[in-house]
Amino acid sequence: MANIAERLATVKHVIVVLSGKGGVGKSSVSTQLALSLYASSPNARVGILDIDLTGPSIPRMLGVDDRGVHQSSAGWVPVYADGSEARLACMSVGFLLKNKGDSVVWRGPKKNAMIRQFLSDVRWGDLDYLVIDTPPGTSDEHLSLIEHMAPVRDRLSAVIVTTPQAVALLDAMKCLSFTRSVGLPVLGVIENMSGYACPCCNEISNVFSVGGGKEMARTEKLAFLGALPVDSKLVTLLDTPNAASDSSSSQQGFGLLTQYQKTASAELFVGIVGQLAEKLGSE
């Protein structure tokens, strides 16, 4: 088994996406973060690791849920979402399942071992950013991740995603307490599902309330990275693999990315990625 420190020596920055509560859009934010970082420079190399072992969503969102992982002498080969360019590497337990309805019913120690393998056995290669998508809560997966990442601690930071309603903020606060007690620096807070524009009359409804994430960032003295309204076009894009993967890649990038860049969320993410790059660059 290769050593985690060695394996990740060629990774410049690791961004852990956390939320506390489930279903607030961690995976969607992770995917968008990876796509936007990828698009931020023609040479950017990005990895995305999904450690939500019992509910992996990343393969579906990147439109690669029919793909598998290959072994090579240098380790497991990640799935490249951008095809032959091989600048967007992805790894998830979803690639290891025989069929998509299989449940992964694992207790802590098995999850811990899988996460260690993802970090030590995957041939990530040179990466500018490794985005890590996590499951909800503050339990085995999170503790294992932080522990295994100890050798690359100085390159590790987190982004907290929340929706604006009180119930989600409560869990986001727990998640913040977690980052503080394990000494994980927080780059900022993203407020997701902040309002929804009716496709008929454009009236904005605050489906899950509004402003909670911003308020949390203010009281906890964290950077507020941005508010993302519910974007049905994006939901559909990330939910339908064939919407993107089949249309042949154009000059600007592969199908999913081209489609993504047409959504309203992509524009907002340019700003978020800009802030993150600045924060990471200045450290």
Partner 1 sequence: MIAVQSPLSVPDPRSVPSNAPEHCPGTNSELAGKSDACAGCANQDVCASGVTKGPDPALPFIKQRMASVKRKILVLSGKGGVGKSTFTAQLGWAFAADDETQTGIMDVDICGPSIPTILGIAQEQVHSSSSGWSPVYVQDNLGVMSVGFMLPSSKDAVMWRGPKKNGLISQFLKDVDWGDLDYLIIDTPPGTSDEHLSVVQYLKESQIDGAVLITTPQEVALQDVRREIDFCRKVGIRILGLVENMSGFVCPKCKTESQIFQPTTGGAKRLAEETGVELLGAVPLDPRIGKSADYGVSFLEEYPDSPASVAYLNIIERIKAILAN
Residues near partner 1 (CB under 8 A) are 20-24, 27, 52-55, 57, 60-61, 100-109, 111-112, 135-140, 142-143, 146-147, 163, 165-168, 170-171, 173-178, 181-182, 196, 198-201, 203, 205-209, 230, 232, 235-236, 238-240
Nearer to partner 1, 45 or 111 (CB): 111
Nearer to partner 1, 23 or 274 (CB): 23
Let me know: does 8 contact 129? Beta carbons within 8 Å: no
Nearer to partner 1, 239 or 267 (CB): 239
Give the list of residues 6+ apart from residue 31 with CB closer than 8 angstroms, or none: 48, 58, 61, 62, 133, 238
CB of 67 to partner 1, least distance (A): 15
Nearer to partner 1, 6 or 147 (CB): 147
- Helical axes 26-39 vs 264-282, angle rounded to 10°: 70
CB of 142 to partner 1, least distance (A): 8
SS3 sequence, 212-268? HHHHHHHHCCCCEEEEEEECHHHHHHHHCHHHHHCCCCCCCCCHHHHHHCCCHHHHH
Nearer to partner 1, 40 or 134 (CB): 134
Let me know: does 187 contact 15? Beta carbons within 8 Å: yes
Nearer to partner 1, 61 or 187 (CB): 61
189 phi and psi angles, rounded to 5 deg: -115, 135
CA distances from 129 to 17, 22, 23, 124 (A): 13, 24, 24, 11
- By CB neighbour count within 10 A (0-12 exposed, 13-18 middle, 19+ buried), where does 48 fall? buried
